[in-house]
């Protein structure tokens, strides 16, 4: 009699918990990236990281209930928690809203609302005002980049400018003024701003990076 008949079949290999979590994390990040890239929705990175942290936490709980080894999940969870804490601190301390996605953003509006806002978490944001027909009175623009570069350019010559800038660390250039270093918190107002027919007040902020405001 052939003993091979009674040889038990090899059990189906189980997929390591770490691989499952890695796949889930990539899906969460990929979906957020895709929605942001297609301008379907703006997904703040703080919310995206929080979602990833939830995935890791659920995986840790599942692994513990099965008695499986957590692998590198604990380290991943700790790292994500630290990143979220840093981002929250940056947002609170330097008043840079954590929203707007990442990458390169080029805006060239023809109309700017009186309280227009432009934001980016990481990357380069350039706002060209060459095509804007500024109304009489004061127009305010707020722009912020958490990590990267912010450029406000092509301001019409007949529009008076007042700029408030801040940066935790980096370089700031406003018209003919330049500041470098840490804890930058400066302002520059052109002569005759208060009496000008058309006025533009800009509030520009970066946490870490560069600001450039030019005509």
Please give the helix or strand (H or E) that residue 113 lies within, else none. none
Q: For the chain, 215 residues long, give each residue's pLDDT as a single digit of tens.
A: 555 555 555 554 554 555 555 656 656 666 665 665 566 665 555 566 667 667 767 766 666 666 655 556 566 666 666 655 555 555 544 555 555 677 888 999 888 775 677 888 888 999 999 999 899 999 999 998 988 999 999 999 999 999 999 988 889 999 989 999 888 889 999 999 999 999 999 999 998 899 999 99
The C-alpha atoms of residue 39 and residue 154 are separated, in whole angstroms, by 25
Per-residue model confidence as pLDDT tens digits over 85-124: 555 555 544 555 555 677 888 999 888 775 677 888 888 9
Per-residue model confidence as pLDDT tens digits over 25-47: 656 666 665 665 566 665 555 56
Q: Strand 177-189 relative to strand 160-174: parallel, antiparallel, unpaired? A: antiparallel
Residue in the structure block whose two tokens are 């692994």: 63
Model's pTM, two decimal places? 0.59
Return the SS3 of 160. strand
């Amino acid at each position: 009699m052939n003993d091979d008949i009674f040889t038990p079949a090899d059990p189906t290999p189980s997929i390591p918990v770490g691989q499952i979590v890695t796949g889930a994390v990539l899906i969460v990040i990929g979906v957020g990236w895709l929605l942001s890239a297609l301008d379907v929705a703006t997904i703040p990175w703080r919310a995206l990281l929080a979602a990833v942290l939830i995935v890791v936490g659920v995986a840790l709980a599942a692994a513990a209930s099965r008695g499986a080894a957590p692998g590198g999940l604990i380290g991943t969870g700790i790292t994500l928690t630290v990143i979220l804490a840093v981002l929250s601190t940056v947002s609170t301390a330097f008043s840079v809203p954590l929203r707007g996605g990442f990458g390169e953003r080029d805006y060239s509006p023809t109309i700017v609302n009186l309280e227009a806002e432009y934001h980016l978490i990481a990357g380069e944001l350039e706002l060209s005002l060459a095509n804007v027909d500024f109304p009489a009175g004061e127009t305010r623009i707020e722009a912020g980049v958490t990590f990267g570069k912010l450029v406000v350019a092509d301001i019409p010559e007949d529009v008076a400018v007042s700029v408030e800038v801040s940066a935790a660390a980096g370089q700031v250039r406003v018209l003919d003024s330049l500041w470098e270093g840490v804890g930058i918190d400066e302002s520059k107002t052109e002569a005759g701003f208060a009496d000008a027919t058309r006025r533009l007040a800009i509030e520009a902020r970066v946490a870490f990076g560069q600001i450039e405001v030019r005509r």
